[in-house]
Amino acid sequence: MKKLTIYFKIDMPSFPAFGIYKWKENDYKVPLTFEIDNTKVRLFLENALSSLNAEPNMSYGGFVEIEIENPTSDLIKSLQNSKELAFEIAQKIYYIYEKTIERFEILCRTTGQIKNLITHPNISFGEFFNAINIFGSTRYPVQWQIDSEGKKDFQFSIKTRRGKNALFKQPQLLTPNKWKKMQKTLERNIFVQKEIVEILRIQSKILWNDKKIPTLEIAILLETLLRDYSKSMLLKKGFSNNKIKDLSEELTFNNLLNLVLPLCLTKSQLKNLQDSINKVNRLRKIRNDLVHGNIREKDINIEVVKEGIKGGLKITKFLV
């Protein structure tokens, strides 16, 4: 009975590894064993102090072993880079990578009771298999072996469109000019409201292609702001607290945004905010579709959400 083992490394930059360096050498040899698509998958953490003079820090990683009993001849051919078959096994390896990261995070947050864990988006399919050329030799990220034979590279690669990482584009850079502006803000003691900062935080999640939770978060935040604003305006117009309470079921996100808010605005204010109201309304519809199970996360139109956040930011600046 042959046994095929596939290996790849994973990076966990936000994993709180401060306690890991106290592990004994044998502790690192004990894996977490997952069952993913009827395949045995083992996750090992790496020794953070394995290199000489290393110091414990947040940069951390591990490696995964995928074990397959009695591999088919086609599977072995695919690992030997048969072009007709390599893409299929590459997809499965990447799927296992995603599921391993996902389940490891769940275990850390629940059984591990690790609260200060920051979620980063997984690297893309193309990046996962991106070979690295070092000093004239090519290093492939995935290896495999049959039984105790030596490890071999899975020489699969896929062309990816290269572009500058969003983190390094000009609008994201902290330039000397921005530094001076920040100092002037400090001197003038100007700080925006917490609601605006929270929207900017949610916006950053969207820019990292985290779609479902930020869409729900921004919708809840905007609905709450609109409800508070509407209640205050209704009180000013003579409505009693009891009457507003009786109307609470009618104060839906839709009515707050498209009915109450426009009625509370002057003509010039409405003209200034109408485009933003329309953008938030499209985001609201996506929120409703998510809540009612009409769409999945992958179906979310990210551009509509981004525009909705921009519109919500403008409305929030007016409301607060």
pLDDT digits (tens, 9 = 90+) for 292-309: 999 988 899 999 999 999
Contact 283, 309 (CB under 8 A): yes
Mean pLDDT for 275-284 is 96
- Of 261, 202, 201, 259, nearest to 230 (Cα)? 261
On the question of pLDDT at 34 being above 60, the answer is yes
Report pLDDT digits (tens) over 44-91.
988 755 543 444 444 467 899 999 999 988 888 889 876 667 888 999
Tell me the whole-structure pTM to 2 decimals.
Answer: 0.61
Report pLDDT digits (tens) over 166-188.
555 666 677 788 888 888 887 88
The sign of the CA dihedral 177, 182, 186, 192 is positive
- DSSP letter assigned to residue 134: E
pLDDT at res. 60:
63
pLDDT at res. 33:
94
pLDDT at res. 102:
87
What would the two tokens of residue 201 be? Answer: 């935080």
Report pLDDT digits (tens) over 224-250.
999 999 999 888 888 888 888 888 888
pLDDT at res. 1:
77
One-letter-per-residue 3-state SS of 177-240: HHHHHHHHHHHHCCCCCHHHHHHHHHHHHHHCCCCHHHHHHHHHHHHHHHHHHHHHHHHHCCCC
The domain spans of the chain are 3-153, 168-319
pLDDT at res. 162:
53
- Of 317, 311, 315, nearest to 203 (Cα)? 311
pLDDT at res. 84:
65
On the question of pLDDT at 165 being above 80, the answer is no
Contact 117, 12 (CB under 8 A): no
Q: Which helix (H) or strand (E) holds 145?
A: strand 142-146
What's the mean pLDDT when you consider all of the chain?
84
Report pLDDT digits (tens) over 11-26.
765 666 656 777 888 8
Contact 283, 305 (CB under 8 A): yes
pLDDT at res. 131:
79
